[in-house]
Amino acid sequence: MDKITELIQRRRMHGLYLSRRCEDITELSHELLGLHCWFHRNVVFSALIRGAELAGWDNALTKTWIHHALHGVAPDDLPTLLAIHAGGWRWGEQYKEIADKVISLMEDGVYSRAEMRLIFADEYDRQTIDRALSPWGGVFCELARLGKVAFRDMTSRDFALIDAEPTQTRGEVLPDLFRRFLTAYGPATFADAAWFLGLGKEWKKDLSALDTEEYSRFEYNKKVYYYIDDSTNMDEIPELTLLSGFDPLIVSYTDRSAVISPEYKNAVIMKSGICLPTVAVNGQVAGLWNIKKGEPTAEFFTAQPKRIKDAAFDLVYGICRQTREYL
């Protein structure tokens, strides 16, 4: 790892609470602009790795779609985070009609897709129902974008009505969100911010319009990296770090070479897009860990000293022990 890459990784690990602790899971989600939860246990893993307490975690956060994936979100943040993609209904009138009926059913106490499928079976053809009530989102994803629904809690597959409709425009929230992004994720490029926030094709126009004079910057490999130089004393890169599945250190950047070597990428990120829990040695991914059938596992891609292997297993065992009452 060259000196500049080491600096990038050191700052990122500090910002992402991998070389320090954040004890409150709501604060952690706020600071990181949401915790990725394709699988809800990754939120638990991510929180424990970063020092957060888990008591009441499943109701402390709101599980919904932000950026371009499911996240556990600090509830007060939701209208602001949704404002990046604010706007009217985008799916066409037939699905708007179904969405209105979904809202009505939820007001009457029906919260699950399975029940709604049965109710809609006599009104719509199967293809329409499959698309509208898709397990990957369907109309619920659109309603979530509008701030009208979210999952009932972090572990539930059912939905609840919420009131988080954005009151600001993308232009109004983007300057503050870019600053918050750099605080946690910097040094980062415009392309990184656009990827993380799920900005559309006009992201260059949106981000180029920002006032960036307050941010420090440097050029590396023909890319401009922005960061906030607040003179905070940062810890060194830990020798050994567990990273959750879909850990922000891995999935939040367009260029992941600072944390994962190309030769190991396919072992970490599946063709389906699933990102596995990993073990980092000196800030770079060196192996995989997991909890399978209640038992901890840890394995490395290449030979490691016994103390590293033993320490990694001990960390995974600690995560395993702490999660038993929550997962």
| Confidence (pLDDT) at 169 | 94
Q: In what order do the strands lie in the sheet with 278-281?
A: 240-243, 278-281, 284-292, 295-300
Residue ranges per domain, the chain?
88-145, 240-323
Position 136 scores a pLDDT of 86
Average pLDDT over residues 202-220: 93
pLDDT for 216 beyond 90: yes
pLDDT at 230: 78
pLDDT in tens, 124-133: 999 999 999 9
Q: What's the rounded Cα separation, in Å, for the pair 134 and 127?
A: 10
pLDDT of 12 = 97
pLDDT tens by residue, 144-174: 999 999 999 999 999 999 999 999 999 999 9
H or E stretch at 244: none
* pLDDT given for residue 327 in this prediction: 79
Mean pLDDT in the chain? 95
Rounded Cα distance between 113 and 132, Å, is: 10
Residues 95-123: b if buried by 16+ CB within 10 A, e if exposed: beebbebbeebbeeebbbbeebeeebeee
Given this model, what pLDDT does residue 239 score?
97
pLDDT band at 324 (very low <50, low <70, confident <90, very high): confident
What are the pLDDT digits (tens) for 224-277? Answer: 999 998 777 788 999 999 999 999 999 999 999 999 999 999 999 999 999 999
- Higher-confidence position of 293 and 61: 61
pLDDT at res. 139: 96
